[in-house]
Amino acid sequence: MSQWGAFGLAKKGRSYKRILRHYYTGVKIRQADTRSVRVLLTTGLNSLLFTDARRACNKRLNPGRNYSFGVARGGVELNRANGRRIKKCGNEGAASGGSVRFAGVGSYRGRLIARNVAGGLYAINKVGMQDYVQGVIPNEVPASWPRHALRAQAVAARSYALATRLNGNGYDLYDDTRSQVYGGKGSETASTNNAAKATKGEVIKAGGKVATAY
């Protein structure tokens, strides 16, 4: 789909479904079974500092305090901000609480995960598909665009994510142009969130399968 083309068609009054059928010929717009995705945020960390979390590694936390995941022998450990260990978490540590702020990076819905890979930490966001799409749209097109251009982008983004899962080490998608640009909760806007909600669960299908919506 041409994003600028979608913008032009929306300005002429075309609906998002007409825009999608214009660029993806012969497809059907249907509901899909959606699930969470794991998005790689960064790699090679020695520690991952976070806040706003209510739980991590099955421990209740104070959301107003800073905590960190660190590298432990063969896995990940949960630490206080002063470096004092709270507990070992296994190969992964996961922090949750509505949204979690990854220090210096941004705020993310779902879970912020630290995964030990070869002695360094991968930072991964495990997030529901609807919340993922909300974090993609404003990073792919301007939030000021017409609502049907935003809705077309929402359906295309959801379809692309479901059709192009990677076989990464603990992750399904990148947060950049190798997959789609994803900025998490901190990048969301009211207009793009409305577009995601208005098209909830919708994808484009070809031959009964979710189409790779380049």
Q: What is the pLDDT of residue 136?
A: 98
Q: What is the pLDDT of residue 74?
A: 83
Chain-wide mean pLDDT for the chain?
A: 95
- Whether the pLDDT of residue 121 is over 90: the answer is yes
- Whether the pLDDT of residue 81 is over 90: the answer is no
- Whether the pLDDT of residue 40 is over 90: the answer is yes
Give pTM, 2 decimals.
0.94
State which amino acid sits at residue 70.
Answer: G
Tokens describing residue 183: 């900025």
pLDDT digits (tens, 9 = 90+) for 131-180: 999 999 999 999 999 999 999 999 999 999 999 989 899 999 999 999 99
Q: What is the pLDDT of residue 82?
A: 85
Q: What is the mean pLDDT of residues 114-136?
A: 97
31: burial class by Cβ within 10 Å (0-12, 13-18, 19+)?
exposed
Task: Output DSSP code: residue 185.
Answer: G
Closest CA to 145 of 2, 11, 1: 11
Determine phi and psi for 156, rounding to 5 degrees: -65, -40
**What is the pLDDT confidence band of residue 35, given thresholds at 50, 70 and 90?**
confident
SS3 96: strand
Q: What is the pLDDT of residue 214?
A: 85
Q: What is the pLDDT of residue 177?
A: 96
- Whether the pLDDT of residue 78 is over 90: the answer is yes
Q: What is the mean pLDDT of residues 87-93?
A: 95
State which amino acid sits at residue 80.
Answer: R
